[in-house]
Amino acid sequence: RQKKSSEGNSAAGQGNMGLRAMILRISLTLSAMSSIDMCCGFTGFSHCPFALRSGGRSLVSSYTHKKTQLSAARRLNTLSSGVLSLKAEEKFGRGLKAKMKEGHSLVYDYVDGSSPVIVYLPAFNQSRITSKSSALQTWAKRNGKAFFSADYYGCGKSDGKFEDGTLTMWTNDMITLIEDVIKKPVLLVGSGVGGWVGLHLAMKRKNLVRGLVGIAADPDFTTDVVLPELDDTVKEKIQKDGSAMISWGVSEYTISKKFIDDSKNMLLLPGGSESLDIKCPVRLIQGLSDEEIPPDRALRISEAIKSDDVVRAASCPLKLS
């Protein structure tokens, strides 16, 4: 059961990794995970094609693959509804709304297709409409797979202020959408904080989550990555005003006191090796020189996951997006 390191080394190259290469990478990942009927169960993967090439340059030169035999006897539990209003004739489409029992509405896109439904979980302070989600949706349509993505509370077109959103709220809302709108097994693809949400979903709804892909997943980033690097002036502003704009890596973000305080109750990595009760296949993709999330984050996540089917893949020396 010993997990081996899989830090992929990329050949020297210049410029940004093209969107096409990223689409290929995610597509191959999803292809490997979706090639077996996950609705009825599966017996593990014999190969995961991460070592692709683009423009003659190897993007990934190594990976670690752990294989396990998983039971096919999986049934969906009868679940109580947390959605107050949803028009049945509008189940599939773009820009649809689902009203939560707490009173707020979330906007989502749902493309019909075969299950497991590919669910894209957006990154921090981002909407459901990004280059990565568009790439996934395109791939899903071409391969007849169902696709779903929603704006978190306070993000995109959903109700609420971003400063009032928390990881607990986003996770619980996604559980409600999966149980009451999708109502099928899902394959989660989480970017950044979406990976954090996805890890919680994989533990809380084992009967529904068939696989998880993390794209620069960043669990616990508030506590051990961002906060230690903020100067006292910014920390004081967060405490006094409830939020502040921070520069992190090559981007600027708004981060709130509510989110930081709530995230302390949602930490995943302090438990150490095999502390996360996740048994589904997991694929973690991480840029080697990501300026926002340390490359070793994927290694720490994989060590904490109990699943015997975890693949860590490192990309070219730039942030993944």
pLDDT, tens only, 274-321: 999 999 999 998 877 777 778 888 889 999 999 989 988 766 555 555
CA distance 231 to 272: 29
Residue 259 and residue 218 in contact, taking contact as beta carbons nearer than 8 Å:
no
What is the 8-class DSSP label of residue 125?
Answer: T
pLDDT-derived band at 225 (thresholds 50, 70, 90) equals confident
pLDDT, tens only, 11-66: 334 343 443 454 455 545 544 443 333 332 332 332 333 332 223 222 333 333 33
Instruction: State whether the Cα torsion 219-222-227-230 is positive or negative.
Output: positive
pLDDT, tens only, 165-204: 999 999 999 999 999 999 999 999 999 999 999 999 999 9
Per-residue confidence (pLDDT) for residue 289, from 0 to 100: 72
Residue 181 and residue 206 in contact, taking contact as beta carbons nearer than 8 Å:
no
